Amino acid sequence: NMSKRNHLKERLNEKLEAITFKTLIVGVDIAKHNQWARFVDCRGIEHNKALKFENNRNGFNAILARIYEICKQEDFNKVIVGMEPTGHYWKAFANFLLKQAKITVVLVNPYHTKRAKELDDNSQTKSDKKDALTIARLVKDGRYFETYLPHDVYAELRGLTTTRYSMNKRKKSIINTITAVLDEYFPEFETVFKQPFKGKASMHLLKVCPIPKFILELGEDGVLDEIKKAVKKTVGRKKAAQLVEAAKDSIGVDYGEYAARFKIQQLLEELELITNQLEALEAEMAETLKKTEVSEYLLSITGMGVVSLATCLGELGDPLRFENARQMSRMAGYNLIEDSSGKNKSGTCISKRGRKNLRSVLYQISLTLVANNKELRQLYNYLKTRENNPLKKMQALVVISKKVLTLIFTLSKKKAYYEPELVFGSYRKSQLQAA
């Protein structure tokens, strides 16, 4: 913990040293149509009046002209532009500044802006013009982090990863909607087919006869014939009988059955389409992953999946841009925070001030590795059963996730393949052996 605090102090000092009396700091509050910009020096003193500019090339050129004008008048030789990474509107402006004007762009945590703006006038009133000044003064105090806008294969991975998240969200929504209709008309369907959206037979029956009315019209033989259309094996008599019995005793409502079946059929068509699209997307992710410099080394980790790794790198970006694995952990929001005041101590927890989707994919990777990777399974079991401060399941998985980040960082930097005997240092090995 002491070394972490020292490292953070050093990083803050580096940021503060980068801002001199010759530095113009520009705070920008981003919106869809119009932005506000405020201009301050290293002491937080405002230079020139606030500028409102449009979110288009004319607006971008207008603020650039104002920046050059202030630099010439006030003799600034360096410019730092700060903004919040909220939504997606900031990306176009940041990309313009980085590529067209070669101006340093940094990002400010929206949480910091919310807290800091009340210090200026003791009011929580929100305005874009006020927020722009707050952002500028946060940058002046070193409360910012560097911008990362990948323009290589990692940009492709990030785009594919974002698309996959939205498609999976839509797929889950469709399944939930179908389930809601079944709960109303035939809640017993899931007692016959435990996973109705995974089996060929159950998916076919959902299209043809998802409701008791249509099942009873078909009868046991008719249901069996439908099952055989989907599954070539000569089985299904038992399932057909179970489904008919469930239909006879169903508590589902008995009105609007045709409309309900039509709704389910339309949703199933959409579900099949998005399932096929996901397969194509994941194949594209696998091909894109091959173009990175590090994929072959990271895929050598026992239990690491192609799509999971592609998603992880889509969130992380190029692993080679990090100085250490701790930076990766902070990006995910895995840094520990302590909640204590006076005699009250409630222990530590992770900050969660990082990329939520990165934590999500690391959790999935950790579950898989704990099941399939001997070394990480050994560590996981030790963490849960050690005498001193045993961890709960979720806590242990956080430690495994941080270990995964360490492996990604180390193997990428060294361009080395996974070797089980090198996973743990001597101290951790002694702990595991003692246990």
CA triple 8-322-23, angle to 5 deg: 60
Ramachandran region, residue 317 (left: φ > 0; alpha: ψ -120 to 50; beta: rest): left
Q: How far is CA 361 from CA 17, 238, 413, in A?
A: 36, 39, 22
The three-class DSSP label of residue 266 is helix
> Which tokens belong to 240?
């057909």
**Residue 181 near residue 189, CB atoms below 8 Å:** no
**Residue 67 near residue 14, CB atoms below 8 Å:** no
Max Cα distance, the chain (Å)? 89
Its sign, for the CA torsion 153, 156, 158, 160, is negative
* Number of neighbouring beta carbons within 10 Å of residue 400: 22
Helix (H) and strand (E) counts in the chain: 18, 8
Write the single-letter amino acid at 186.
Answer: F
Element holding 336 (H helix, E strand): strand 336-341
**Residue 135 near residue 108, CB atoms below 8 Å:** yes
Give the integer Cα–Cα distance in Å for 241 and 221. 9
The three-class DSSP label of residue 233 is coil
> Bridge-partner residues for 38, per DSSP?
27
Question: Which residues 6+ apart lie within 8 Å of 9 measured at CB?
Answer: none
Give the integer Cα–Cα distance in Å for 265 and 429. 56
Phi, psi of 84 (to 5 degrees): -90, 140
Give the integer Cα–Cα distance in Å for 153 and 13. 33
Residues of the chain by 3-state class (helix, strand, coil), percent to 5: 65, 10, 25
User: Half-sphere exposure (CA, 13 Å, Cβ side) for 190?
Assistant: 13
Phi, psi of 30 (to 5 degrees): -90, 140
Write the single-letter amino acid at 329.
Answer: S
> Bridge-partner residues for 25, per DSSP?
40, 80
Quote the pLDDT of residue 292.
96
> Which tokens belong to 151?
């323009």
Quote the pLDDT of residue 6.
61
* Number of neighbouring beta carbons within 10 Å of residue 76: 20
Give the integer Cα–Cα distance in Å for 434 and 49. 67
The single residue listed with the structure tokens 């072959």 is 296
Per-residue pLDDT of the chain (435 residues; tens, 9 = 90+): 555 556 556 666 677 777 889 999 999 999 888 999 999 999 999 999 999 999 999 999 999 999 999 999 999 999 999 999 878 889 999 999 988 777 999 999 887 777 776 666 555 555 668 899 999 999 998 888 888 888 899 999 999 999 999 999 999 999 999 999 999 999 999 999 999 999 999 999 999 999 999 999 999 999 999 999 988 765 678 999 999 999 999 999 999 999 999 999 999 999 999 999 999 999 999 999 999 999 999 999 999 999 999 999 999 999 999 999 999 998 998 877 665 555 555 567 777 777 899 999 999 999 999 999 999 999 999 999 999 889 999 999 999 999 999 999 999 999 999 999 999 999 998 988 887
Give the integer Cα–Cα distance in Å for 2 and 230. 63
Of 404, 221, 232, the closest CA to residue 302 belongs to: 404
Give the integer Cα–Cα distance in Å for 198 and 184. 21
Give the integer Cα–Cα distance in Å for 184 and 254. 10
Give the integer Cα–Cα distance in Å for 208 and 241. 16
Give the integer Cα–Cα distance in Å for 279 and 282. 5
Of 212, 213, 242, the closest CA to residue 227 belongs to: 242
Quote the pLDDT of residue 113.
79
Write the single-letter amino acid at 276.
Answer: N
Of 387, 380, 382, the closest CA to residue 402 belongs to: 380
Give the integer Cα–Cα distance in Å for 390 and 296. 35
